[in-house]
Chain A
Amino acid sequence: MSQKPQTLFQKIWDSHVVAEEPGAPAVLYIDLHLVHEVTSPQAFSVLTERGLKVRRPERTVATMDHSIPTKGGYEAADELGRIQLRLLESNAQANGVRIYGLNSVQRGIVHVIGPEQGFTQPGMTIVCGDSHTSTHGAFGSLGFGIGTSEVGHVLATQCLLQRKPRTCEVRVDGTLHPGVTAKDIILAVLAKIGVGGGTGHVFEYTGSAIRALDMEGRMTVCNMSIEGGARAGMVAPDDKTFNFVHGREFAPKGAAWDRAVTCWRELPTDTGAAYDKTVTLDAGSLEPMVTFGTNPGQGVAITQPLPLPASLANAAERAGLEKSLAYMKFEAGKPILGQTVDVVFLGSCTNSRIGDLRAAANLLRGRKVAKTVRMMVVPGSQSVKQAAEAEGLDKVFKEAGADWREAGCSMCIAMNGDQLSPGQLAVSTSNRNFEGRQGKGGRTVLASPLTAVASAVAGKIADPRPLLNGGQA
């Protein structure tokens, strides 16, 4: 059988089309639907209005992450937050949907617990009313964010109407230098293509630098695909993927596992398959990256001066850059190193897994958070929290003067009590530096966990590399 070579994306797409009528989008089957408290209430209401139930509760998983406080739990939430949390519980119960609720020891950020519990598997279609569903693509699945109307569609039918996106290969070859991480790769990709560069496309990350990343690093990269405008980001599955999934609670077991791996090995893009476009990046040329503006595409290598608006030919882009710099209170042409930092946030679905916490704790061990800095460490799930505590990482953070919290989205979205005060500057391992994202008037610099720690210690934006060998920032 001679078949046209196909991409990973094409294979997953084709194998999930349930029906396609002329002139209409494909009816795509959804293998896994993740649900959280913020984007689901109105979708459950539609079901109730129409007398419908969740069609495949066993393919639906709910968790509480966005509006849950990271200290004091449910009791600490404001009234609207409590109503929202309770409503998710009752909606899940009424529909027989598994929920990682208030008392669950495995509750966590939706994009952390999916892979952690083994729900996320290669070859799947995965959706959630959350744009960072792209994270799950790290496993060689097709994961993408949907709106609340679509959440209702999937709850009711387990299917979704979708137009097929185009594909974009993001090829990263070469070897990262010490102190440069997966987060720096994706921030560099975004700085190169801009926040709209991936619109209409699904990214597939390829190349030796991506293959060299562990699963957590791949999740970090795929997580921020949406920041480039791409719906999804994918990495072809390999033995690292299978080893990560193996043995997790909801992963296939026994003979089913062997059958699954045999199928999963067929998923990687065939030699000679064509992408609609390709972007390349040399990992060996990268330094730690930071953002300086108010969107994730406004990033620079940490040693570089901030760009000059005059260097942009397009008037609207020039105005955008000027507006961003004014909001951030940064000066064009000046270095970003040395800017005074008020808050350091280590957390979010981008960088809150055990590997992130380990890397951060290793750098922080024996050092102190600067007196002028408030550092918050928020594990991505309660399971990550327990694992970190078993290793004693919590002690490292606490002894350094950082605040060790319960799992949740926390200061990534500032709708749960954790937030910046107006004017404060945060170095954050999260994924969005939009105006006010971490609290009204707050200013966000996105960076890797290593850069976050170096900045916490120095009290100003600092390069982590000098600290790697026990030096001073």
Chain B
Amino acid sequence: MSERVVIVGGGVAGVSTAGALRAGGFDGDLTLVDAGEFPYDRPPLSKDFLAGTQDIKQIALKPQQWYDDQRVRLMNRTTVSALRPADGAVELVDGALLPADRVVLATGGGAARPPIPGAHSDRVHVLRTAKDADRLREALGSGARVLVVGAGLIGAEAASTAVRLGCEVVLADPVAVPLAAAIGAELADWLHGLHHRAGITTLHTGVDGFTDRPGGIEARFTDAGEPAAEPQVFDAVLLGVGMVPRTEIAQSAGLRVEGGIVVDERQLTSHPAVLAVGDPARTRRDGVLLPRTEHWEAAQHDGARAAATLLGTTPPPATAPWFWTDRHDRHVEAVGHMASAELTVVRGSYDDPAFAVFGLRDGHVVAAASVDDPMAVRAARRMIDRQVAVRAGPLADPSVNLRSLLRG
């Protein structure tokens, strides 16, 4: 077994890798290098942290003591500039070499900044780091006119937080029904409708360009099959248009990179001494490149798998992909691949305080999504993972206990 493991990046993927290595009995040197002040969690950045109801200490991934207890050498505010697998080291920005027999790349990604004319303005924000969130929060005073571009997960959550803080929010997306592929068109449509009910103006349009004006920034909209909306002036703009995986150091070390750092099912990159986990990793299975999963739990699972690979132990079983999102005081969870369902059934109704949608195929659940009914999705997840045969009728009936269906 390798003596010295260096993990590059202290997001949930990197920290989970470190934790899983020690839990699995790794006894060598373990170093976690992170460019930020200390490893913190990202999902709150569009929710409570943005709202100002959680501070940076509350979103630390682990208490400081944990790193000591686990004998993890944590190098904060330190950036790895290059991999030197041939020298058994990684290089830091100051030129120092850090010995490493195996390296785990957990570099995450940066917020996408599409080349929209005028988007370099100070009034245009992105949201990926705690600093981004701090800066955005300052712009979200009561009454502020805010444009959110992109109604995917981060845009929708930030828009919801902004309206809660008293902002006048416009949410623009060229996609008519964001998230449809992940949770099904019907639920996605309902969820998107929540914005309107919360007082947000939703526009079915993209943005063409920005111009700084005295007292604001003007946004010009593209028409997405409809007459273009009139240009409008805002106090602040948030671009929530996706993330770009951070692959530079993998690329310059000659590792295979194709829209992500290509890994096998054990998280190994094209270099045997280097693994990759979390948002930047892209799995190749049976010769096919899968889409990257940009979700929190997937990053954690990658870490557990990478640790098993380094330790030569059996990896934890793969589970159906799961994520959550919170907006307008509704807690949404989703599991599996809704796009592969041939039949969907609603448990309860869209008017209920809590309900869920199940996607079925060949008498099995392949996906589910819930609104304020997380236990429905936890049940569905087990139905998927255990390949339990179920019928649509009982699934749709809220009086049927889902756990009883699990027992088969």
A binds B: no
